[in-house]
Structure 1
Amino acid sequence: MFVQDALARFAASPFAHTLLALTTAFILGTAIGFERQWRQRNAGLRTNVLVAVGAAAFSDLGMRLLGVEGATRIIAYVVSGIGFLGAGVILKDGANIRGLNTAATLWCSAAVGTFAGSDMPAEATTLAVFVLAGNTLLRPLVNWVNRRPITPEVTEAEYRVHAICSPEHVSDVRDLLDEKLDAAALPVRSVETLSDTEDQVELAAILVPTSAAEKELDAVVMALERSPLVHSATWSVETTA
């Protein structure tokens, strides 16, 4: 009985559209996933294919049941639902975050699938090309930018002035850091203790400015080192997130 009902409801033309949508999503998801698998990412070939095909299937189902309105509803759930899948590939490694690009690629694979499932194979193909271009053609540019040195004049970053002193002089050196940095118009956000031993303590004053001149920081360090309370001083810079 079930088989007879299924055969009675079967329509060749809508099925052909579904088959085309899933095939398109499968091929384009394979192209995107192959690039991820080649680079040994967490979400590789199979994951991207399944995301694209699944998004295409849901979009096609909504289209067949309720037309454009049904597809729109389904796509909204796909967009929000893919966020949970993307969160699973994002890893925190110390101060670094890994997997953001992989999560974004999965998000784009879902978009490719929704295009395919909404009977827009040309748009799906175009998006897949852009995703592949973003993950491959932009890589040399990213590597070039990452190799550039962090320069105080142009980089928005977190600046720290370090001072090493004896444990009994910590309070005075804190005040000295505030005094010298304030005189240089470099206000302090906070002062942290980076290391604390019986012989010495390393303090780090975190500055409020996100850009500073190297000469100004060097001048502050020289002023600190002239104090008999300070064993040594230096400054460092790290890019902000």
Structure 2
Amino acid sequence: MHWMDQLWVVGGAAYAMLLGGAIGFERELKNRPAGFRTHMLVAGASSLLIGMGLLALEDPRFRLPFLVNMDPMRLVEAVIAGVSFIGAGTIFAWRGGRDIAGITTAASLLMAAVIGACAGLRYHVLALAAAALTLLVLAALKSAERRFGFKAAGGDKR
């Protein structure tokens, strides 16, 4: 395996971390339970796992007939399952009430993971567009909710 291919995976992870960091920075400014570093790490880990899977697909050691075939989408599923646990940790219910907080932050972590997966698959424009759309939803739509007096469904405070 050529070391340049591995550097491309590291570069993709750095790109994913940059995009995830932008989303995390927005969450950090709003003092949410998962912020800058968490979003960066989720996006970077996602990208690295996907990139590692792509490298493994090209690795002759895994092409032997007795080994199991690899499906890169299974790596995406594994990333999503792992992020779900982190996202669940950001969601909590207020004791004695019906309000739930942290759902938007959990969703932003999921988006950071998907953005990382896009970067890991080398869909860099798609990753950038998804990050921009995520920031639009988190920042611009919150502003519109305030302006027009809408309240998030379920009383989501995060």
TM-score class, shorter: 0.7 to 0.9
Q: Give me the whole-angstrom Cα distance separating, in 2, the residues matched to 1:39 and 1:32.
A: 11
Q: Give me the whole-angstrom Cα distance separating, in 2, the residues matched to 1:17 and 1:133.
A: 29
Q: Does 1:59 align with 2:50?
A: yes
Superposition deviation, residue 83 in structure 1: 1.2
SS of 1:146's partner is: coil
Q: Which has the higher strand share?
A: 1
Q: Does 1:13 align with 2:13?
A: no
Q: Which runs of 5+ in 1 are unaligned?
A: 1-8, 148-238
SS of 2:90's partner is: coil
* Partner residue, 1:129: 132
Q: Give me the whole-angstrom Cα distance separating, in 2, the residues matched to 1:15 and 1:66.
A: 13
* Partner residue, 1:81: 82
> Share of identical aligned residues, percent?
30
Superposition deviation, residue 16 in structure 1: 2.6
State the TM-score, normalized to the length of structure 1.
0.55
Q: Give me the whole-angstrom Cα distance separating, in 1, the residues matched to 2:125 and 2:25.
A: 20
Q: 1:240 to 1:112 in 2, by over 3 A?
A: closer
Pairing 1:145-164 to 2, within 5 Å after superposition: 145-146=149-150
Aligned-residue RMSD, C-alpha: 1.8
Superposition deviation, residue 12 in structure 1: 3.0
Q: Does 1:49 align with 2:40?
A: yes
Superposition deviation, residue 71 in structure 1: 2.2
Number of aligned positions between the proteins: 140
* Equivalent of 1:99 in 80, 99, 102: 102
User: Which residue type is aligned with residue 28 of structure 1?
Assistant: L
* Aligned structure 1 segments of 4 or more residues deviating by more than 4 angstroms: none
Q: Give me the whole-angstrom Cα distance separating, in 2, the residues matched to 1:58 and 1:117.
A: 8
Q: Give me the whole-angstrom Cα distance separating, in 1, the residues matched to 2:6 and 2:53.
A: 14
Deviations 1:75-101, CA, capped at 9 Å, x for gaps:
011112211111100010121000000
State the TM-score, normalized to the length of structure 2.
0.82
* Partner residue, 2:145: 142
Superposition deviation, residue 26 in structure 1: 1.4
Q: Give me the whole-angstrom Cα distance separating, in 2, the residues matched to 1:53 and 1:240.
A: 31
CA contact (8 A) 2:50 2:76 kept: yes
Superposition deviation, residue 141 in structure 1: 1.9
Q: 1:47 to 1:59 in 2, by over 3 A?
A: same
Of structures 1 and 2, the one scoring higher in RCO (CA 8 A, sep 6+) is 2
Superposition deviation, residue 17 in structure 1: 1.4
User: Which residue type is aligned with residue 145 of structure 1?
Assistant: G
Q: 1:60 to 1:146 in 2, by over 3 A?
A: same
